Amino acid sequence: MGDLFSNLSLGFGVALTLQNLGLAFLGCLVGTLIGVLPGVGPIATIAMLLPITFGLDPTGALIMLAGIYYGAQYGGSTTAILVNIPGEATSVVTALDGHQMARQGRAGVALGIAAIGSFFAGTVATLVIAALGAPLTKLALVFGPTEYFSLMVMGLVFAVVLARGSILKAISMILVGVLLSTVGTDLETGEERMTFGLPFLADGIDFAVLAMGIFGIAEILRNLDHTESRDVVRQAIGRLLPNRDDFKQAYKPVLRGTLIGATLGILPGNGAVLGPFAAYTVEKKLAKDPRRFGRGAIEGVAGPESANNAGAQTSFIPLLTLGIPPNAVMALMVGAMTIHGIVPGPQVMTRNPDLFWGMIASMWVGNLMLLIINLPLVGMWVRLLKVPYRLMFPAILMFCCIGIYSINSLPTDVMFIGLFGLVGYMLMKFGFEPAPMLLGFVLGKLMEENLRRALIISRGSLDTFIDRPISAGLLLVALVLLVLALLPSIRKGRDEVFTE
Amino acid sequence: MKKMTLALAALVGLAATGVQAQTYPTRPVTMIVPFAAGGPTDVIARIVSDHMSRTLGQQIVIENVAGAGGTTGITRAAQSQPDGYTIMMGHMGTHGAAPALYPNLKYDPTKDFAPIGLAAGTPILIVAKKDFPANDLKGFLDYMKANGEKVNMAHAGVGSVSHSTGIFFNSVIKAKPTMVAYRGTGPALNDLMANTVDFMTDQIVNVAPQIQGGNIKAFAIATAQRSPALPNVPTTKEAGLEGYEVSAWNAMFAPKGTPPEIVKKLNDALVKALDDENTKKRLLDLGGVLPTGAERSPEALQKLVESEVARWTPVLKAAGATAE
């Protein structure tokens, strides 16, 4: 324990120097601003700003890049809440209830609880990394393809619970999502699947393209359909910050979300994406009145947002302790480290303790900065909603197009968001929920690849999923959840919601 | 009349390029890196271009256009204006293995480019899980012979360096391990460290930290000399394996038709960067191997591309590793 404190004080000594404080602030600010632009996620941002860090010392550079990462993560939630465009897989669920809150004039409360929940989750996650980072690495190694497949199965069951209304529709949307995820070059054989020989489909459909079209563009179309609902938002902006009742409702979801997100964040292969979905499912299951979910329940923002931030933070554990990046953003951080002459790996902790602990301390500093930057900004963001929609939607459309183009520089991506926008609009009209489809899309690829990997390694024996205890446990949880969802009594409850 | 106008236009065009070449570069140069930011090729491109920008007096802006084993970015770069303002960092895969892997490839590595020069290569290592029941290359090869398909070999996806070099390795030692594909080196290494898969071949940049940390075993390095980064790892030849020397080279190209004066300016800037002590040190720290004097010219690069295409095509085709 003494070690922990001396290490942390070393870290804060590094993180609290004037230069590093400034860099953390700059990183968070830039990250927030860019994250707010739809489509421009942390990967594009960090890649663009990487050269700027060349002149800095490695610790300062990494502190700034990490700041951009959480800033962008946070900024993505802002667009999810205000305009229903989740910039990333992790903010899809935030859009569900967050945007409903905004429509009811509670945008400020939603943004506020997201900021506060994220700060709390970030603080806890920083402590977890500092105290348990090294031993927790083992968890990442326990999760092989078999465990991963079972985890994804559990994730898909979450998707069923996620949806409002008809289970049949939810399941069909999940399956469509899984199908969409199979477009592209097959990993094992290199064959192209469902690409119709079109070169821009060879690498599959980008998540950002699908999410922006299905959520963002479709939302614009729907709003243009009946403009009167926007006027309601304009009239009643409501309180800017959460009050006591809001906190009372939100503190437990924040705690649970933090726990769920922090655990899933450590897993390799982007386990963090499951965090917000899992948190949302748990809140919905625990709620006295699950019908409020999807209609602006504050728990539906507080839980997933905390899970999101906790996961974003703990996904640094495999990177810092093993040098193995669990997702694309972390892979970019590895590149940033190597460019600065630090080879990431298990030795970083002993060879560059000031960098290692400085970065951990700066995570907490960064979270504090985000709170400081964002709470005053809440008022500004909410005022954005007052802008007449006829002026706002062309701006949103333009930013969507620029943002999506900046990711892969593909003109076809811009056309694709239009296409998916139309599809999303039609789905909405027919009463299908887009969220389960996105989850199916995100998890489908991971699920298929890990299933095949696990079966190749087990030489085709399905027993491997039952023989391995963690995998068996996860499958059991999935089964229980599924039975609960399908139980007649619950189904009746769901039908009521749907027909109402 | 039409003909004359055309001829005149061509003449004016030529004159314009001549002037352009003298004053080149007057605006930032875009270098397309056909892989995601942060990977070995991207890191090498950024280190080298950082110094080249200072020599050229104009910023070299890196644009990452990833996809289809790097061929998406190279296709785009090959089709851009040959005016020296779009160049690219190609590598062993895009300019060696790609013709065998992608039958519909829209460029010919040997014909559609104006080579600039070789930047740096990263040697390939043969690595295995910590618990592998062998401690040197000989023991490993014996085990492979005895167990064949029971051994699991990891790679980072069709078209990746670990995939091509792995297939080449299997053809040299005449073994057929079961191939397990991952999306990128990170997850593959994760499972190697967790003892889920048995072995893989990959670039030194990716595996050196895990070898130094004792998380995986290294049997041999596929170069003529040992690497200063891993002095204890023998070369394949020292360990008794002939015919497996391979490195993931990275080299700069311009689209075909780029004026030779511009190519020369870029080559000079590249060579100057490779001679710079600081740049050199950063590349060597990565475990990179720098080209020797004779290997740095555009002509040498053209020869290298031709020999690499000739080397990879039969190996990959024989393994049926075609992407279609």
Mean pLDDT of chain B: 89
Chain B neighbors of A413, CB-CB under 8 A = none
Asked if A199 is an interface residue toward chain B (Cβ–Cβ < 8 A), one would say: yes
CB contact under 8 A, B42 and A336: no
* Omega cis (within 30) before A42: no
For A481, left (φ over 0), alpha (ψ -120 to 50), or beta? alpha
DSSP, collapsed to helix, strand or coil, labels residue A401 as helix
For B37, left (φ over 0), alpha (ψ -120 to 50), or beta? beta
Mark whether B42 and B107 lie in a shared domain: yes
Mark whether B193 and B275 lie in a shared domain: no
Q: How far is CA A100 from CA A143, A287, B5, B295, in A?
A: 37, 18, 65, 63
CB contact under 8 A, A345 and B213: yes
Q: Are B210 and A323 spatial neighbours (Cβ–Cβ below 8 Å)?
A: yes
Binding-face residues of A in 234-293 toward B, CB within 8 A:
268-269
CB contact under 8 A, B64 and A47: yes
Count CB atoms within 10 A of the CB of residue A477. Answer: 15
Interface test with A, best of B130, B196, B216, B283 (most A CBs within 10 A): B196
Would the pLDDT of B268 be above 70? yes
CB contact under 8 A, B182 and A453: yes
Binding-face residues of A in 294-333 toward B, CB within 8 A:
318, 322-326, 328, 331-333
Chain A neighbors of B213, CB-CB under 8 A = 323, 345-347
CATH number at residue B135: 3.40.190.10
B304 lies in which domain range?
Answer: 27-120+249-318
Q: Are B317 and B167 spatial neighbours (Cβ–Cβ below 8 Å)?
A: no
CB contact under 8 A, B68 and A326: no
Distance between CA atoms of residues A62 and A50, nearest Å: 10
- Whether the model clears a pTM of 0.95, i.e. scores above it, the answer is no
Asked if B68 is an interface residue toward chain A (Cβ–Cβ < 8 A), one would say: yes
Number of domains in chain B: 2
Q: Which of B39, B213, B286 shows the shortest C-beta gap to A347?
A: B213
CA nearest to A456 within chain B: B180
Please tell me the number of Cα atoms within 13 Å of B91 on its side-chain side. Answer: 29
**Sequential DSSP letters for B1-19:** -HHHHHHHHHHHHHHHHHH
Mark whether B111 and B256 lie in a shared domain: yes
Take residue B161 and report the two structure tokens written for it.
């360096």
Nearest to A384 by CA among A369, A372, A395, A399: A395
Backbone angles phi, psi at A185, to 5 degrees: -75, 130
Nearest to A96 by CA among A446, A437, A464: A437
Chain B neighbors of A191, CB-CB under 8 A = 323-324
Distance between CA atoms of residues A292 and A295, nearest Å: 5
Q: Are A129 and A316 spatial neighbours (Cβ–Cβ below 8 Å)?
A: yes
Number of domains in chain A: 1
CA nearest to A192 within chain B: B324
Backbone angles phi, psi at B296, to 5 degrees: -95, -5
Mark whether B135 and B208 lie in a shared domain: yes
Chain B neighbors of A334, CB-CB under 8 A = 38, 186
- Which residues lie closer than 8 Å to B278 by C-beta, 6 or more apart? B51
Greatest distance between any 2 Cα atoms in chain A: 63
Asked if B79 is an interface residue toward chain A (Cβ–Cβ < 8 A), one would say: no
Mark whether B66 and B139 lie in a shared domain: no
Mark whether B130 and B109 lie in a shared domain: no
Mean pLDDT of B265-289: 92
The answer to the question of residue B276 being in a domain is yes
Binding-face residues of B in 7-46 toward A, CB within 8 A:
36-39, 42-43, 46
Asked if A165 is an interface residue toward chain B (Cβ–Cβ < 8 A), one would say: no
From the centroid of its chain, how far is CA A351? 32
Angle between helices A353-384 and A2-15 (to 10 degrees): 60
Question: What type of residue is A24?
Answer: A
Q: How far is CA B271 from CA B252, B268, B277, in A?
A: 11, 5, 12
Asked if A48 is an interface residue toward chain B (Cβ–Cβ < 8 A), one would say: no
Mark whether B106 and B160 lie in a shared domain: no
Binding-face residues of B in 240-269 toward A, CB within 8 A:
none
Q: Which of A145, A185, A326 shows the shortest C-beta gap to B196?
A: A145
pLDDT tens digits for A198-233? 877 877 888 888 888 888 888 888 888 865 555 444
CATH number at residue B78: 3.40.190.150
Radius of gyration of chain A (CA): 22
Interface test with A, best of B53, B62, B158, B195 (most A CBs within 10 A): B158
- How do the pLDDT tens digits run along chain A, 500 residues long? 567 788 888 889 988 999 999 999 999 998 888 777 776 667 777 877 777 777 788 888 889 988 888 888 888 888 888 888 876 777 888 888 998 888 888 888 898 899 899 999 999 998 888 888 777 777 777 888 999 899 888 888 877 766 666 778 888 998 999 999 999 888 887 778 888 878 778 778 888 888 888 888 888 888 888 655 554 445 455 667 788 888 888 889 999 999 999 988 887 666 677 888 889 888 888 888 888 888 888 999 999 999 998 988 888 887 887 777 777 778 788 878 877 777 777 777 777 888 888 888 888 998 898 888 888 887 787 777 777 778 888 888 888 888 888 777 778 889 999 999 999 999 988 988 888 888 888 888 888 989 999 999 999 999 999 999 999 999 998 898 888 777 755 555 555 444 43
Chain B neighbors of A332, CB-CB under 8 A = 36-38
Nearest to A436 by CA among A218, A176, A191, A174: A174
Mark whether B111 and B138 lie in a shared domain: no
Distance between CA atoms of residues B296 and B290, nearest Å: 9
Mark whether B186 and B132 lie in a shared domain: yes
Chain B neighbors of A142, CB-CB under 8 A = 194
